[in-house]
């Protein structure tokens, strides 16, 4: 619970009304008790502030009346307040910038927890989750209590299901406050291009900002790769503390470009000749040679996927900027495992191995297939689809990559959303070589069952696209579905026959 005076101290207020009366002085209202803040009218409770923000697909101002009926006593809006907008007994603020107002209110309500933690922000197309997950694990192993906000889940001292990679500022502020109250020292946040483009992180400033890589994704949202790149770059130009450190991976040309454009920040560069991890053995967990300057270290890990060597290198860069030596973290590295749905070894059946990976971009699918190709003894079979109502241009590209790197392909549904699954599959097939064995099974469960039944000793099966997800989105509804659960359930059925 906070007072109105505590919450509005940084608001850029244009006009203020109590009912239909202009507010000349906040004296009578400054001790007004506020129980919470919401930008969702359905979540408003008694004595709440309702922030009527205009989003991409909605206008919060259309829900002010509902919020007031549910108990809102203060409304914050960006549009001009006129006589049609007055509500008896309700305070309304017109502000210059609704996004800044929401951020200020949220952070003030939760007592500015962002100022009491070391914040590490990780952005990039691929690798965000693995780098964040590795960083969290190693920090906790070293005794620095570390929270996590990202694609897999949100973690304080409890696990909270993740609704989006980078949630709203209200959710972030609430989670950071929970971490502060539980004596956490650090929080790693996956920072999406959507969040940066939509100014979702206003008021949050990072101690360390990390760039993994950039490749084709989200072109249904960003108009082109340049806009996508500029969105990612905002993490380094708008959201850094004055003393912040930056880590940039030179995995591809975008990392090289960013390092040049940010050279005044003296970024720590990783995945270079002088700072890299090299996979020596890949079959039963990566055995890595870590090179840092003139020193080399050899370490055995429980990681699968050669691409994880790059992600681990980026993680090591974070620890170098924090002042750790490689020797300090070698034992923790040995314990690392792939995050859920990141080239996760789910099961072994008939001497074949079954992996689940979140690969839903051309570059991620290529990395996963290349990693498995390097350890296969027989066939490499891939099952995948593409999401509906998303970037259609990547579909034939993923089909082409699959036909180049897999021995057999099974095309199926991913999250079709409001699109026809067969139309999505046809788009993918345009990139598949006609000589490549390719079967279409639109029902994802049936596709998994067929793929598992066809396995022989030495085969590898990659189930790509959904990774950690526990649902399938069809025509606006999310149905329970987990690749891992379906795989294990079917293998159990086969073994009991």
Q: Are 433 and 321 in the same domain? A: no
Q: Are 156 and 253 in the same domain? A: yes
* pLDDT number for residue 201: 97
Tell me the C-alpha distance between 352 and 390, whole Å: 33
C-alpha of 291 from chain center: 29
User: 162-179 burial by CB neighbour count: b if 16+ within 10 A, else e?
Assistant: beebbbbbbbbbbbbbbb
Domain boundary among 335, 355, 371: 335
Q: Are 304 and 400 in the same domain? A: no
Domain boundary among 68, 87, 109: 109
Q: Are 69 and 207 in the same domain? A: no
What spatial distance separates the first Cα and last Cα of the chain, rounded to whole Å? 59
Tell me the C-alpha distance between 364 and 173, whole Å: 31
Q: Are 100 and 213 in the same domain? A: no
* pLDDT number for residue 32: 96
Q: Are 296 and 162 in the same domain? A: yes
DSSP notation for 253-300? HHHHHHHHHTGGG-PEEESBTTEEEEEEE-BTB-EEEEEETTEEEEEE
Largest CA distance in the chain: 80
Neighbouring C-alpha atoms within 13 Å toward the C-beta of 139: 25
Determine the angle formed by the axes of helices 169-181 and 98-109, rounding to 10 degrees: 20
Q: Are 361 and 125 in contact (CB under 8 A)?
A: yes
Q: Which residues are annotated as a binding site?
A: 41, 124-130, 165-166, 192, 198, 200, 390, 414-417, 465, 469
Q: Which residues are annotated as a binding site for ATP?
A: 124-130
pTM: 0.93
Domain boundary among 310, 335, 360: 335
Q: Domain containing 479: what range?
A: 344-496
Q: Are 259 and 364 in the same domain? A: no
Look over the chain and give the mean of its residue pLDDT values, rounded to a whole number. Answer: 96
Q: Are 164 and 213 in the same domain? A: yes
* pLDDT number for residue 496: 87
Tokens 């209202």, residue?
Answer: 29
CATH number at residue 446: 3.90.190.20
Q: Are 309 and 364 in the same domain? A: no
Contacts with 51 (C-beta within 8 Å, 6 or more apart), sequence order: 37, 38, 39, 60, 76, 98, 101, 102, 105
CATH number at residue 183: 3.40.1190.10
Report the chain (497 residues): mean pLDDT per 10 consecutive residues.
Answer: 93 95 88 97 98 88 96 97 91 97 98 99 97 98 98 96 94 99 98 96 98 92 94 98 98 96 97 95 89 94 94 98 95 95 96 97 96 96 98 98 99 98 98 98 98 98 98 97 98 92
Nearest one of 117, 86, 70, 95 to 17, comparing CA atoms: 86
β 344-349/352-357 pair status:
antiparallel
Instruction: Specify the DSSP class assigned to residue 437.
Output: -
CATH number at residue 84: 3.40.1390.10
Residue 91: phi and psi, rounded to 5, are -85, 135
Instruction: Specify the DSSP class assigned to residue 23.
Output: P
Q: Which residues are annotated as a binding site for meso-2,6-diaminopimelate?
A: 390, 414-417, 465, 469
Tens digits of residue pLDDT in 330-352:
999 999 999 999 999 999 999 99
Q: Are 318 and 348 in the same domain? A: no
* pLDDT number for residue 40: 96
Work out how many domains the chain is built from and give that number.
3
* pLDDT number for residue 415: 98
Q: Are 54 and 134 in the same domain? A: no
Q: Are 215 and 331 in the same domain? A: yes
């Amino acid at each position: 619970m906070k007072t109105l005076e505590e919450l509005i101290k940084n608001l850029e207020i244009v006009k203020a009304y109590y009912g239909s009366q202009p507010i000349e002085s906040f004296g009578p209202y400054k001790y007004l008790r506020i129980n919470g803040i919401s930008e969702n009218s359905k979540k408003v409770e008694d004595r709440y502030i309702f922030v009527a923000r205009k989003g991409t697909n909605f206008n919060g101002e259309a829900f002010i009346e509902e919020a007031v009926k549910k108990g809102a006593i203060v409304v914050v809006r960006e549009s001009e307040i006129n006589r049609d907008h007055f509500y008896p007994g309700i305070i309304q603020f017109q502000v210059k910038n609704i996004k800044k107002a929401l951020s200020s209110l949220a952070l003030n309500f939760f007592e500015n927890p962002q100022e009491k933690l070391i914040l590490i922000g990780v952005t990039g197309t691929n690798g965000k989750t693995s780098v964040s997950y590795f960083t969290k694990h190693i920090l906790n192993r070293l005794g620095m209590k570390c929270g996590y906000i990202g694609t897999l889940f949100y973690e304080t001292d409890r696990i909270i299901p993740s609704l989006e990679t980078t949630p709203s500022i209200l959710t972030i502020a609430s989670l950071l406050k929970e971490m502060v109250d539980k004596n956490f020292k650090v929080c790693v946040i996956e920072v999406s291009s959507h969040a940066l483009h939509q100014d979702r992180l206003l008021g949050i400033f990072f101690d360390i900002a990390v760039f993994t890589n950039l490749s084709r994704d989200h072109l249904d949202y960003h108009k082109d790769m340049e806009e996508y790149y500029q969105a990612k770059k905002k993490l380094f130009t708008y959201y850094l503390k004055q003393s912040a450190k930056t880590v940039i991976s030179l995995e591809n040309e975008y990392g090289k470009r960013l390092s040049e454009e940010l050279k005044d920040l003296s970024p720590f560069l990783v995945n270079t000749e002088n700072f890299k991890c090299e996979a020596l053995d890949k079959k039963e967990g990566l055995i890595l040679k870590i090179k840092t300057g003139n020193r080399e270290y050899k370490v055995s890990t429980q990681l699968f996927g050669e691409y994880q060597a790059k992600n681990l290198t980026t993680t090591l860069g974070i620890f170098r900027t924090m002042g750790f030596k490689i020797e300090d973290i070698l034992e923790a590295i040995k314990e690392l495992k792939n995050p859920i749905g990141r080239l996760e070894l789910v099961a072994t059946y008939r001497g074949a191995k079954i992996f689940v990976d979140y690969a839903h971009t051309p570059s991620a699918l290529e990395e996963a297939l290349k990693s498995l190709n390097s350890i296969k003894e027989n066939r490499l079979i891939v099952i995948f689809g593409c999401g509906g109502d998303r970037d259609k241009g990547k579909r034939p590209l993923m089909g082409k990559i699959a036909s180049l790197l897999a021995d057999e392909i099974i095309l199926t549904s991913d999250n079709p959303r409001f699109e026809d699954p067969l139309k999505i599959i046809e788009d993918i097939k345009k990139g598949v070589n006609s000589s490549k064995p390719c079967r279409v099974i639109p029902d994802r469960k049936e596709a998994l069952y067929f793929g598992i039944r066809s396995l022989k000793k030495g085969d590898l099966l990659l189930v790509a696209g959904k990774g950690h997800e526990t649902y399938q989105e069809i025509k606006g509804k999310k149905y329970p579905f987990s690749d891992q659960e379906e795989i294990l359930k079917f293998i159990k059925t086969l073994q009991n026959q």
